Structure 1
Amino acid sequence: MPAETITPERIVAEARTWLGVPWRHQGRSRAGIDCVGLVVQVARALGLSDYDHTAYGRRAQGQGFVEHFRANMDGVAIAQAQLGDVLVFADQAYPCHCGFLTERLSHPHLIHAHALRRKVIEEPYAGEWLAKVKFAFRFRKHAPDSDPGPAV
């Protein structure tokens, strides 16, 4: 499917197919997946990107985590984030987690692979998440005959 036909709703629908998949650090399959793997696999399923990066630890150090998003997706203002955009969160000082912005019952939600809950979940985008969000990114759109290039 050409990238320009991918709607935010289609991104959210694909992300929802991963709900309940077990969490696994650096996982990239339905046998186990982490937050970055979820973004990678949704992008692959929709033909948005084949980019992947697995050289990251379980504890964030520096800005390396977010640099891959910056290099491969378009940054948007957090206040301008829309359905299907990827939000990046920081625990303490460094970016270390990401998930898809969604909506349920007219309220913003987040689909992400949650290490503590040990699976992919969709939960309200509220409370602690609002304080931890540091960046928002959107998949790039490309013409059908152009090289799509890497995106997270």
Structure 2
Amino acid sequence: MTGDAVVAAARAWLGTPYRHRTSTQGAGCDCLGLLRGVWRALYGEEPVTVPAYRASVRDPEHAGALREAAERFLLPAEGAVEAGQVVLFRLNGLDEARHCGILVGADRFIHAQEKLGVVEANLTPGWVKRVSGRFVFP
């Protein structure tokens, strides 16, 4: 899948309000819901039904689930940071990734953020230090 196609699919979600555990363009999504929506735009049906998960990043029940899903359904990104890559982030000093987005380029990404919804943001040094993995759509 080309990076341009992934970015175009992600940009279609800009302005979608933040809603936990949802994935409806224009109506609401969280960070995983954004990835799910981009997957559907690129491939049609989602490969699996996503189980329920809590909004708390400290939920120990699903620690590692985001990385496991990325490793199962996406491919590791190799080499340079490029548009269209999925990026995983650690939050609040935790070891496991609890947030994700889609790179628009080496210094910008699209993600769903609480209170802001789906936005395109700068990949600041604060975000860069939290990166825990990069993947590409198959």
Query: What range describes the TM-score normalised by the shorter chain of this pair?
Result: 0.7 to 0.9
What is the DSSP-based 3-state SS (H/G/I as helix, E as strand, rest coil) of the residue aligned with 1:80? coil
Structure (1 or 2) with the larger CA radius of gyration:
1
Separation of aligned partners in 2, 1:42 and 1:128? 25
Secondary structure of the 2:120 match is strand
Q: Structure 1: which 5+ residue stretches go unaligned?
A: 1-5, 141-152
Q: Which amino acid aligns with 1:115?
A: E
Structure 2 unaligned residues grouped into runs of 5+: none
State the distance in 2 between where 1:72 and 1:66 align: 10
C-alpha spacing 1:25/1:131, structure 2 compared with 1 (3 Å): same
Aligned-residue offset at 1:129: 0.6
Q: Work out the CA distance in 1 between the residues paired with 2:44 and 2:137.
A: 7
Q: For 1:27, which of 22, 26, 48 is the aligned residue?
A: 22
Match for 2:42: what amino acid?
L
Task: Indicate the residue corresponding to 2:12 in structure 1.
Answer: 17
Q: Percent identity?
A: 31
Contact 1:88–1:136, Cα closer than 8 Å, also in 2: yes
For 1:10-69, what per-residue CA distance to the aligned partner results, in whole angstroms no more than 9, with x for missing partners?
110111011010000011102101111111111111117612424221123321221111
Give the aligned residue type for 1:59. S
Local SS of the residue matching 2:129: helix
In structure 2, what is the equivalent of residue 98 of structure 1?
100
Query: Moved runs in structure 1, 4+ residues, more than 6 A?
Result: none
State the number of aligned residues.
130
Q: Which residue matches 1:114?
A: 113
Separation in 1 of the partners of 2:89 and 2:108?
14
SS at match of 1:38: helix
Q: Distance in 2 between matches of 1:49 and 1:82?
A: 25
Q: Which residue among 56, 61, 65 is the counterpart of 1:59?
A: 56
Q: Report the CA distance between 1:90 and its aligned residue.
A: 0.6
From 111, 133, 136, the counterpart of 1:135: 133
Taking structure 2 as the reference length, the TM-score comes to 0.85
Deviation per residue, 1:114-143 (Å, 9 max, x gap): 1142x1000111121111110111111xxx
